[in-house]
Structure 1
Amino acid sequence: MSLPDTAPRAGATPPAPNSPAGRSVPLEPFNKSVALSLGVELELQLVNTHDYDLAPYAEDMLRLMAQTPLPGSVVPEMTSSMIEISTDICHSAKDVVAQLTPIRDALVKNADKLNIAVVGGGTHAFQQWHERRIYDKPRFRELSELYGYLSKQFTIFGQHVHIGCPDADGALLMLHRMSRYIPHFIALSASSPFVQGQDTQFDSARLNSVFAFPLAGRAPFTLSWKEFGNYFERMTRTGVVRSMKDFYWDIRPKPEFGTIEIRVFDTPLTVERAAALAGYVQSLAAWFLQEQPFTPCEDDYLVYTYNRFQACRFGLDAVYVDPASGEHMPLRDHILMTMTQLEWHSEALDATQALALLRTSVEANRNDARWLRERQARERLLAEVVRQSALRFRKG
Structure 2
Amino acid sequence: MSKFGFHSNSSPSVGVELELAVVDGETFSLANRSNELLAAVPPPFASACKHELMQSSIEIISCVCQDVSQARSDLSSKLVVVQQCAERLGLGLWWGATHPFSHWQDQVVTDDQRYLDLVNLLQEMARRLITNGLHVHVGVDSGDKAVMICDRIMQHLPTLLALSASSPFWEGRDTGLHSHRSKVMEGLPTAGLPTLMRNWSEYVWLVNHMEETGFINTIREIWWDVRPHHNFGTVEVRMCDIPGNLDHVCGLAALIQCLVKFLSDEIDEGTYQFDCHPMMVRQNKWRAARFGLQATLVDTFDYSEKTVPEIANRLVDQLRGVAQELGCESELLFVREIATGVSWADRQRDILDKTDQPRQIVQQLMRQSQIELS
Asked if these proteins are the same fold (TM beyond 0.5), I'd say yes
Aligned 8 A contact 1:173 1:296 in 2: no
| 2:59 alignment partner in structure 1 | 84
Match of residue 19, structure 2, among 34, 37, 43:
43
Q: 1:79-158 to 2 correspondence within 5 Å? A: 79-158=54-133
Corresponding position: 1:225 with 2:203 = no
Residue 261 (structure 1) aligns with? 236
Contact 1:72 1:85 (8 Å CA) reproduced? no
TM superposition shift of 1:296: 4.2
Which residue of structure 1 aligns with residue 158 of structure 2?
A: 183
| Equivalent in the alignment of 2:178 | 203
Given that residues 37 and 85 in structure 2 are in contact (C-alpha distance below 8 angstroms), is that contact kept between their aligned partners in structure 1? Answer: yes
- Residue 33 of structure 1 corresponds to 9
1:274-353 aligned at under 5 Å gives the runs: 274-291=249-266, 295-353=272-330
Check 1:61–1:233 CA distance in 2 against 1; reply closer, same or farther (3 A cut): closer
- The TM-score with structure 2 as length reference comes to 0.93
**Partner amino acid, structure 2, of 1:217:** G
Counterpart residue identity of residue 76, structure 1: H
CA distance in structure 2 between the aligned counterparts of 1:43 and 1:372, rounded to whole angstroms: 18
SS in 1 for 2:8: coil
Over 3 Å counting, the alpha-carbon distance change for 1:194 and 1:288 in structure 2 is same
Q: Which residue of 2 aligns with 1:11?
A: none
- Cα separation, 2, equivalents of 1:94 and 1:244: 31
The structural deviation recorded for 1:53 is 0.3
Report the Cα offset of residue 327 of structure 1. 2.1
Moved more, 316-325 or 252-261: 316-325
Q: Which segment drifts farther, 223-232 or 206-215?
A: 223-232
**Counterparts of 1:235 and 1:131, CA distance in 2:** 31
Note closer, same or farther for the CA distance 1:211–1:189 as it changes in structure 2 (3 Å cut): same
Aligned to 1:212: 187
SS at match of 1:267: coil
| Letter matched to residue 283 of structure 2 | Y
Structure 2 residue runs without a partner (length 5+): none
Q: 1:252 is paired with a residue of what secondary structure?
A: strand
**Alpha-carbon distance in structure 1 between the residues aligned to 2:47 and 2:286:** 33
What is the RMSD of the two structures over their aligned residues, measured on CA atoms?
Answer: 1.9
Distance in 2 (alpha carbons) for counterparts of 1:361 and 1:350: 19
Q: 1:288 to 1:260 in 2, by over 3 A?
A: same
Query: 2:357 aligned with 1:361, yes or no?
Result: no
CA contact (8 A) 2:105 2:127 kept: yes
Give the deviation of 1:192 after TM superposition: 0.7
Q: Output the amino acid matched with 1:55.
A: A
Note closer, same or farther for the CA distance 1:245–1:68 as it changes in structure 2 (3 Å cut): closer
Give the stretch that moved more between structures: 138-147 or 246-255: 138-147
CA distance in 2, matches of 1:71, 1:372: 31
Deviation of 1:86 (Å): 0.5
SS of residue paired to 2:21: strand
Q: 1:145 to 1:235 in 2, by over 3 A?
A: closer
Report what 1:194 is aligned to. 169
Q: Any idea what the Cα deviations from partners look like across 1:281-301, whole Å, max 9, x if unmatched?
A: 111122223345964455431
What percentage of residue pairs aligned between the two structures are identical?
26
CA distance in 2, matches of 1:134, 1:224: 36
The two structures have a TM-score, normalised by structure 1, of: 0.88
Is 1:239 aligned to 2:200, yes or no? no
CA contact (8 A) 1:191 1:367 kept: yes
Query: After superposition, where does 1:9-88 map in structure 2 within 5 Å?
Result: 25-65=1-41, 67-70=42-45, 73-88=48-63
* Partner SS state of residue 228, structure 2: strand
Residue segments in structure 1 that go unaligned for 5+ positions in a row: 1-24
How far does residue 272 in structure 1 lie from its aligned partner after superposition? 2.4
For structure 1, which segment, 170-179 or 297-306, has the greater mean C-alpha deviation from structure 2 after superposition?
Answer: 297-306
- Residue 149 of structure 1 aligns with an amino acid whose one-letter code is E
- Do the aligned partners of 2:102 and 2:171 also contact (CA within 8 Å) in 1? yes
In 1, distance between residues paired with 2:176 and 2:351?
A: 15
Amino acid in structure 2 at the alignment position of 1:308: K
Where does residue 357 of structure 2 map in the other structure? 381
Give secondary structure in 1 for the equivalent of 2:59: strand
Whole-angstrom distance in 2 between the partners of 1:144 and 1:283: 36
Post-superposition shift, 1:237? 4.3
1:199-244 residue CA offsets vs partner (Å, 9 max, x unmatched): 1111111011111111222323233222333333444443324543
Number of residues of Structure 1 aligned to a counterpart in Structure 2: 370
Do the aligned partners of residues 62 and 357 (structure 1) sit closer, same or farther apart at CA in structure 2, a change above 3 Å counting? same
